[in-house]
Amino acid sequence: MLGTEQQAAWGRRELPPVEKLAGGVWSVPVPIPDNPLRYTLSYLLPGDSGVVIVDPGWNDEDTWAALTTGLATAGYRLGDVLGVVATHVHPDHHGLSLRLREETGAWVAMHPAEAASMPQRMGATTSEIRRTGMTRILRMSGTSEEEISGLLGSFNPRFEPDLVMAEPDVLLEDGALVPLAGRRIRTVWTPGHTPGHICLADEETRTLLTGDHVLPRISPNIGLGPSSDAKPLADFLTSLEKVGAYDDHDALPAHEYRFRGLAARTAELIAHHEERCRELIAVVQALGEPTLWSIAQGLTWSRPWEEIGRMRFAALGETAAHVQHLVDRGDLRWVAPDAEGGAPRVTRP
Protein backbone atom coordinates (compact mmCIF):
# COMPACT_ATOMS: atom_id res chain seq x y z
CA MET A 1 0.00 0.00 0.00
CA LEU A 2 1.40 3.37 -1.04
CA GLY A 3 1.19 6.16 1.56
CA THR A 4 0.29 3.82 4.41
CA GLU A 5 1.45 6.15 7.17
CA GLN A 6 -0.22 9.12 5.46
CA GLN A 7 -3.50 7.22 5.28
CA ALA A 8 -3.23 6.19 8.93
CA ALA A 9 -2.55 9.79 9.98
CA TRP A 10 -5.56 10.93 7.95
CA GLY A 11 -7.72 8.45 9.84
CA ARG A 12 -6.34 9.72 13.16
CA ARG A 13 -6.97 13.34 12.06
CA GLU A 14 -3.27 14.12 12.51
CA LEU A 15 -0.68 15.79 10.33
CA PRO A 16 1.27 13.03 8.53
CA PRO A 17 5.07 12.93 8.71
CA VAL A 18 7.52 14.64 6.39
CA GLU A 19 8.66 11.80 4.12
CA LYS A 20 11.39 11.16 1.56
CA LEU A 21 10.01 9.48 -1.56
CA ALA A 22 11.48 7.92 -4.68
CA GLY A 23 14.06 10.00 -6.53
CA GLY A 24 14.76 12.20 -3.52
CA VAL A 25 11.36 13.93 -3.68
CA TRP A 26 10.02 15.02 -0.27
CA SER A 27 6.40 15.18 0.87
CA VAL A 28 5.82 18.03 3.35
CA PRO A 29 2.34 18.40 4.91
CA VAL A 30 1.42 21.99 5.76
CA PRO A 31 -1.74 22.89 7.72
CA ILE A 32 -4.79 24.73 6.36
CA PRO A 33 -6.44 26.88 9.05
CA ASP A 34 -9.97 25.79 10.01
CA ASN A 35 -10.57 23.60 6.97
CA PRO A 36 -11.91 20.02 6.81
CA LEU A 37 -9.08 19.09 4.41
CA ARG A 38 -6.71 19.89 7.32
CA TYR A 39 -3.49 20.11 5.29
CA THR A 40 -1.92 20.49 1.87
CA LEU A 41 0.80 18.07 0.79
CA SER A 42 3.60 20.23 -0.58
CA TYR A 43 6.36 18.52 -2.54
CA LEU A 44 10.06 19.33 -2.73
CA LEU A 45 11.62 18.46 -6.09
CA PRO A 46 15.43 18.39 -5.88
CA GLY A 47 17.55 19.43 -8.86
CA ASP A 48 21.26 19.83 -9.55
CA SER A 49 21.59 23.16 -7.73
CA GLY A 50 18.56 23.52 -5.48
CA VAL A 51 14.94 22.60 -4.93
CA VAL A 52 11.54 23.50 -6.41
CA ILE A 53 8.48 23.59 -4.14
CA VAL A 54 5.13 22.48 -5.51
CA ASP A 55 2.06 24.00 -3.79
CA PRO A 56 3.63 25.67 -0.72
CA GLY A 57 0.25 26.16 0.99
CA TRP A 58 -1.88 28.73 2.80
CA ASN A 59 -0.47 32.16 3.67
CA ASP A 60 -0.39 31.67 7.43
CA GLU A 61 2.35 31.60 10.07
CA ASP A 62 1.58 28.01 11.09
CA THR A 63 1.79 26.93 7.44
CA TRP A 64 5.06 28.83 6.95
CA ALA A 65 6.56 27.19 10.04
CA ALA A 66 5.60 23.71 8.81
CA LEU A 67 7.01 24.39 5.34
CA THR A 68 10.35 25.74 6.58
CA THR A 69 10.63 22.87 9.08
CA GLY A 70 9.99 20.44 6.24
CA LEU A 71 12.71 22.08 4.17
CA ALA A 72 15.16 21.74 7.06
CA THR A 73 14.20 18.10 7.60
CA ALA A 74 14.99 17.46 3.94
CA GLY A 75 18.36 19.20 4.34
CA TYR A 76 17.51 22.47 2.58
CA ARG A 77 17.56 26.13 3.56
CA LEU A 78 15.36 28.89 2.16
CA GLY A 79 18.33 29.94 0.03
CA ASP A 80 18.18 26.58 -1.76
CA VAL A 81 14.68 27.26 -3.13
CA LEU A 82 14.95 27.90 -6.88
CA GLY A 83 11.31 28.01 -7.83
CA VAL A 84 7.68 27.43 -6.92
CA VAL A 85 5.08 25.63 -9.04
CA ALA A 86 1.38 26.13 -8.34
CA THR A 87 -0.82 23.32 -9.60
CA HIS A 88 -3.55 25.97 -9.27
CA VAL A 89 -4.03 29.27 -7.46
CA HIS A 90 -6.42 28.35 -4.67
CA PRO A 91 -5.06 29.85 -1.44
CA ASP A 92 -4.34 26.47 0.17
CA HIS A 93 -1.88 25.85 -2.68
CA HIS A 94 -0.58 29.21 -3.93
CA GLY A 95 -0.99 31.36 -0.81
CA LEU A 96 2.66 31.24 0.33
CA SER A 97 4.20 31.62 -3.12
CA LEU A 98 4.54 35.40 -2.82
CA ARG A 99 6.32 35.20 0.54
CA LEU A 100 8.65 32.52 -0.80
CA ARG A 101 9.58 34.67 -3.79
CA GLU A 102 10.13 37.72 -1.59
CA GLU A 103 12.40 35.81 0.82
CA THR A 104 14.31 33.65 -1.69
CA GLY A 105 14.08 35.29 -5.12
CA ALA A 106 12.54 32.07 -6.47
CA TRP A 107 10.60 32.10 -9.73
CA VAL A 108 6.89 31.21 -9.69
CA ALA A 109 5.31 29.01 -12.37
CA MET A 110 1.78 28.03 -13.39
CA HIS A 111 -0.32 27.34 -16.49
CA PRO A 112 -1.32 30.38 -18.61
CA ALA A 113 -5.04 29.72 -18.07
CA GLU A 114 -4.45 29.79 -14.32
CA ALA A 115 -2.58 33.08 -14.57
CA ALA A 116 -5.57 34.50 -16.46
CA SER A 117 -7.98 33.52 -13.68
CA MET A 118 -6.10 34.84 -10.63
CA PRO A 119 -8.11 36.82 -8.04
CA GLN A 120 -6.50 40.12 -9.01
CA ARG A 121 -7.46 39.49 -12.62
CA MET A 122 -11.06 38.94 -11.57
CA GLY A 123 -11.21 41.99 -9.31
CA ALA A 124 -11.73 39.77 -6.25
CA THR A 125 -8.70 40.46 -4.08
CA THR A 126 -10.46 41.46 -0.85
CA SER A 127 -12.89 39.49 1.28
CA GLU A 128 -15.41 42.32 1.05
CA ILE A 129 -15.43 42.23 -2.76
CA ARG A 130 -15.72 38.45 -2.76
CA ARG A 131 -18.61 38.54 -0.30
CA THR A 132 -20.43 41.06 -2.49
CA GLY A 133 -19.98 38.74 -5.46
CA MET A 134 -21.11 35.73 -3.45
CA THR A 135 -24.24 37.60 -2.34
CA ARG A 136 -25.10 38.37 -5.98
CA ILE A 137 -24.60 34.74 -7.00
CA LEU A 138 -26.73 33.47 -4.12
CA ARG A 139 -29.59 35.82 -5.00
CA MET A 140 -29.44 34.83 -8.67
CA SER A 141 -29.60 31.19 -7.55
CA GLY A 142 -32.85 31.67 -5.63
CA THR A 143 -31.40 31.80 -2.11
CA SER A 144 -33.47 33.61 0.51
CA GLU A 145 -32.10 36.69 2.28
CA GLU A 146 -32.23 34.81 5.59
CA GLU A 147 -30.12 31.99 4.18
CA ILE A 148 -27.67 34.47 2.64
CA SER A 149 -27.24 36.19 5.99
CA GLY A 150 -26.64 32.86 7.69
CA LEU A 151 -24.02 31.85 5.14
CA LEU A 152 -22.09 35.11 4.96
CA GLY A 153 -22.74 36.66 8.35
CA SER A 154 -19.49 35.71 10.11
CA PHE A 155 -16.00 36.89 9.16
CA ASN A 156 -12.50 35.91 10.30
CA PRO A 157 -9.60 37.58 8.45
CA ARG A 158 -7.29 34.62 9.10
CA PHE A 159 -9.57 32.29 7.15
CA GLU A 160 -10.77 34.86 4.58
CA PRO A 161 -7.56 36.68 3.69
CA ASP A 162 -7.02 39.32 1.06
CA LEU A 163 -5.84 37.48 -2.04
CA VAL A 164 -3.07 39.41 -3.73
CA MET A 165 -1.15 36.44 -5.04
CA ALA A 166 2.19 35.99 -6.72
CA GLU A 167 2.10 36.63 -10.45
CA PRO A 168 3.91 33.98 -12.51
CA ASP A 169 7.45 34.40 -13.82
CA VAL A 170 7.20 31.16 -15.81
CA LEU A 171 4.21 29.89 -17.81
CA LEU A 172 3.96 26.12 -18.16
CA GLU A 173 2.00 25.04 -21.23
CA ASP A 174 0.73 21.48 -21.56
CA GLY A 175 3.76 19.23 -22.13
CA ALA A 176 6.33 21.81 -21.00
CA LEU A 177 9.18 20.78 -18.71
CA VAL A 178 9.59 22.49 -15.33
CA PRO A 179 12.85 24.51 -15.54
CA LEU A 180 14.79 22.39 -13.04
CA ALA A 181 18.21 21.13 -14.13
CA GLY A 182 18.76 17.48 -13.34
CA ARG A 183 15.12 16.39 -13.55
CA ARG A 184 12.46 15.91 -16.23
CA ILE A 185 9.17 17.05 -14.72
CA ARG A 186 6.54 17.41 -17.45
CA THR A 187 3.40 19.57 -17.24
CA VAL A 188 0.06 17.83 -17.78
CA TRP A 189 -2.77 20.37 -18.22
CA THR A 190 -5.90 19.12 -16.43
CA PRO A 191 -8.61 21.82 -16.43
CA GLY A 192 -11.78 21.28 -14.45
CA HIS A 193 -11.19 22.07 -10.78
CA THR A 194 -9.79 25.36 -12.12
CA PRO A 195 -9.20 26.49 -15.73
CA GLY A 196 -5.42 26.12 -15.55
CA HIS A 197 -4.97 23.25 -13.13
CA ILE A 198 -1.90 21.15 -13.89
CA CYS A 199 -0.46 17.81 -12.82
CA LEU A 200 3.28 17.14 -12.93
CA ALA A 201 4.72 13.90 -14.31
CA ASP A 202 8.18 12.84 -13.13
CA GLU A 203 9.53 10.72 -15.98
CA GLU A 204 12.34 9.21 -13.89
CA THR A 205 10.38 8.05 -10.83
CA ARG A 206 7.10 7.33 -12.69
CA THR A 207 5.15 9.53 -10.29
CA LEU A 208 2.36 12.01 -11.03
CA LEU A 209 1.77 14.96 -8.73
CA THR A 210 -2.00 15.27 -9.13
CA GLY A 211 -2.73 18.47 -7.19
CA ASP A 212 -6.48 18.54 -6.55
CA HIS A 213 -7.35 16.88 -9.86
CA VAL A 214 -7.37 13.28 -8.56
CA LEU A 215 -7.58 12.56 -4.83
CA PRO A 216 -7.80 9.07 -3.32
CA ARG A 217 -11.05 9.45 -1.40
CA ILE A 218 -13.07 12.49 -2.46
CA SER A 219 -13.93 14.31 -5.66
CA PRO A 220 -12.58 17.87 -5.97
CA ASN A 221 -15.12 20.65 -6.20
CA ILE A 222 -16.05 21.36 -9.80
CA GLY A 223 -17.85 24.70 -9.73
CA LEU A 224 -19.24 26.90 -12.48
CA GLY A 225 -17.03 29.97 -12.89
CA PRO A 226 -17.86 33.49 -14.07
CA SER A 227 -17.02 32.88 -17.74
CA SER A 228 -20.14 32.55 -19.91
CA ASP A 229 -18.54 29.82 -22.02
CA ALA A 230 -17.08 27.82 -19.12
CA LYS A 231 -17.58 24.06 -19.24
CA PRO A 232 -15.74 22.93 -16.08
CA LEU A 233 -17.39 19.53 -15.71
CA ALA A 234 -16.86 18.57 -19.35
CA ASP A 235 -13.24 19.73 -19.03
CA PHE A 236 -12.80 17.76 -15.81
CA LEU A 237 -14.15 14.53 -17.32
CA THR A 238 -11.85 14.90 -20.34
CA SER A 239 -8.90 15.58 -18.02
CA LEU A 240 -9.72 12.47 -15.98
CA GLU A 241 -9.48 10.32 -19.11
CA LYS A 242 -6.15 11.97 -19.89
CA VAL A 243 -4.72 11.21 -16.42
CA GLY A 244 -6.09 7.67 -16.45
CA ALA A 245 -3.44 6.90 -19.05
CA TYR A 246 -0.78 7.39 -16.30
CA ASP A 247 -1.76 4.17 -14.55
CA ASP A 248 1.88 3.08 -14.34
CA HIS A 249 2.63 6.20 -12.24
CA ASP A 250 2.18 6.49 -8.47
CA ALA A 251 -0.25 9.29 -7.59
CA LEU A 252 1.04 12.04 -5.29
CA PRO A 253 -2.01 14.21 -4.51
CA ALA A 254 -2.10 17.55 -2.70
CA HIS A 255 -4.49 16.25 -0.02
CA GLU A 256 -5.13 13.07 1.96
CA TYR A 257 -2.53 10.43 0.98
CA ARG A 258 -0.52 8.83 -1.85
CA PHE A 259 -2.03 5.94 -3.77
CA ARG A 260 -1.72 3.66 -6.80
CA GLY A 261 -4.30 2.87 -9.48
CA LEU A 262 -4.95 6.06 -11.44
CA ALA A 263 -6.93 4.27 -14.15
CA ALA A 264 -9.34 2.77 -11.63
CA ARG A 265 -9.65 5.98 -9.61
CA THR A 266 -10.32 8.20 -12.63
CA ALA A 267 -12.92 5.73 -13.92
CA GLU A 268 -14.53 5.81 -10.47
CA LEU A 269 -14.71 9.61 -10.55
CA ILE A 270 -16.20 9.64 -14.05
CA ALA A 271 -18.87 7.17 -12.91
CA HIS A 272 -19.55 9.30 -9.81
CA HIS A 273 -20.29 12.38 -11.89
CA GLU A 274 -22.49 10.47 -14.31
CA GLU A 275 -24.50 9.17 -11.35
CA ARG A 276 -24.65 12.74 -10.03
CA CYS A 277 -26.11 13.88 -13.34
CA ARG A 278 -28.79 11.19 -13.16
CA GLU A 279 -29.67 12.22 -9.61
CA LEU A 280 -29.87 15.88 -10.59
CA ILE A 281 -32.22 15.15 -13.51
CA ALA A 282 -34.47 13.21 -11.12
CA VAL A 283 -34.54 16.15 -8.68
CA VAL A 284 -35.49 18.56 -11.47
CA GLN A 285 -38.16 16.13 -12.68
CA ALA A 286 -39.66 15.97 -9.18
CA LEU A 287 -39.59 19.71 -8.55
CA GLY A 288 -40.77 20.91 -11.98
CA GLU A 289 -38.95 24.23 -12.50
CA PRO A 290 -36.60 24.60 -9.50
CA THR A 291 -33.96 27.25 -8.86
CA LEU A 292 -30.32 26.21 -8.49
CA TRP A 293 -30.63 26.58 -4.72
CA SER A 294 -33.63 24.25 -4.62
CA ILE A 295 -31.79 21.69 -6.73
CA ALA A 296 -28.73 21.83 -4.46
CA GLN A 297 -30.96 21.31 -1.41
CA GLY A 298 -32.48 18.25 -3.04
CA LEU A 299 -29.19 16.51 -3.88
CA THR A 300 -27.28 14.04 -1.72
CA TRP A 301 -24.18 15.44 -0.02
CA SER A 302 -21.57 13.87 2.27
CA ARG A 303 -23.45 15.36 5.21
CA PRO A 304 -27.06 16.58 5.54
CA TRP A 305 -27.66 19.93 3.84
CA GLU A 306 -28.44 21.57 7.20
CA GLU A 307 -25.01 20.58 8.55
CA ILE A 308 -22.61 21.63 5.80
CA GLY A 309 -22.61 25.32 6.74
CA ARG A 310 -20.64 27.63 4.47
CA MET A 311 -19.72 24.74 2.22
CA ARG A 312 -23.22 25.21 0.79
CA PHE A 313 -21.70 27.85 -1.47
CA ALA A 314 -19.29 25.30 -2.94
CA ALA A 315 -22.19 22.84 -3.24
CA LEU A 316 -24.16 25.46 -5.14
CA GLY A 317 -21.24 26.00 -7.56
CA GLU A 318 -20.98 22.26 -8.16
CA THR A 319 -24.73 22.05 -8.76
CA ALA A 320 -24.47 24.86 -11.31
CA ALA A 321 -21.61 23.12 -13.13
CA HIS A 322 -23.63 19.92 -13.42
CA VAL A 323 -26.74 21.79 -14.58
CA GLN A 324 -24.74 23.60 -17.27
CA HIS A 325 -23.21 20.29 -18.37
CA LEU A 326 -26.67 18.76 -18.69
CA VAL A 327 -27.98 21.81 -20.56
CA ASP A 328 -25.08 21.50 -22.99
CA ARG A 329 -25.95 17.81 -23.43
CA GLY A 330 -29.59 18.64 -24.10
CA ASP A 331 -30.88 16.88 -20.97
CA LEU A 332 -32.03 20.10 -19.24
CA ARG A 333 -32.78 23.69 -20.21
CA TRP A 334 -32.70 27.06 -18.49
CA VAL A 335 -35.95 28.97 -17.93
CA ALA A 336 -35.33 32.72 -17.93
CA PRO A 337 -36.96 34.89 -15.22
CA ASP A 338 -40.22 36.60 -16.12
CA ALA A 339 -40.57 40.35 -16.58
CA GLU A 340 -40.80 40.87 -12.81
CA GLY A 341 -37.36 39.34 -12.29
CA GLY A 342 -36.44 36.53 -9.95
CA ALA A 343 -33.94 33.70 -10.30
CA PRO A 344 -33.47 31.61 -13.45
CA ARG A 345 -34.96 28.15 -13.18
CA VAL A 346 -34.22 24.75 -14.67
CA THR A 347 -36.52 22.23 -16.30
CA ARG A 348 -36.57 19.23 -18.62
CA PRO A 349 -36.60 19.98 -22.37
Question: Stretch 224-243: mean pLDDT, rounded?
Answer: 87
Beta strand 333-335 with 345-347 is antiparallel
Q: CA nearest 115: which of 42, 189, 186?
A: 189
188, pLDDT greater than 60: yes
Residue 131, classed as helix, strand or coil, is helix
286, pLDDT greater than 80: yes
* List of domains in the chain: 4-121+163-260 (3.60.15.10), 127-158+271-347 (no CATH)
* Residues 111-146: tens digit of each pLDDT: 999 999 887 766 655 667 667 777 888 888 888 888
Q: Which pLDDT score, from 0 to 100, does residue 156 have?
A: 55
What are the C-alpha distances in Å from 109 to residues 142, 172, 185? 39, 7, 13
Q: How far apart are CA 51 and CA 81, in angstroms?
A: 5
Average pLDDT, the chain: 91
DSSP annotation of 158 reads: T
Q: How far apart are CA 340 and CA 260, in angstroms?
A: 54
* Residues 244-276: tens digit of each pLDDT: 999 999 999 999 999 999 999 999 999 999 999
1, pLDDT greater than 80: no
Determine the Cα angle at 42 with ends 41 and 44, to 5°: 135
* Residues 59-105: tens digit of each pLDDT: 999 999 999 999 999 999 999 999 999 999 999 999 999 999 999 99
All residues at 6 or more sequence positions from 75 whose CB lies less than 8 Å from its CB, including other chains: none
340 and 136 Cβ atoms separated by less than 8 Å: no
Q: How far apart are CA 309 and CA 166, in angstroms?
A: 30
Q: Which pLDDT score, from 0 to 100, does residue 102 have?
A: 95
Q: How far apart are CA 255 and CA 26, in angstroms?
A: 15
Q: Which pLDDT score, from 0 to 100, does residue 291 have?
A: 95
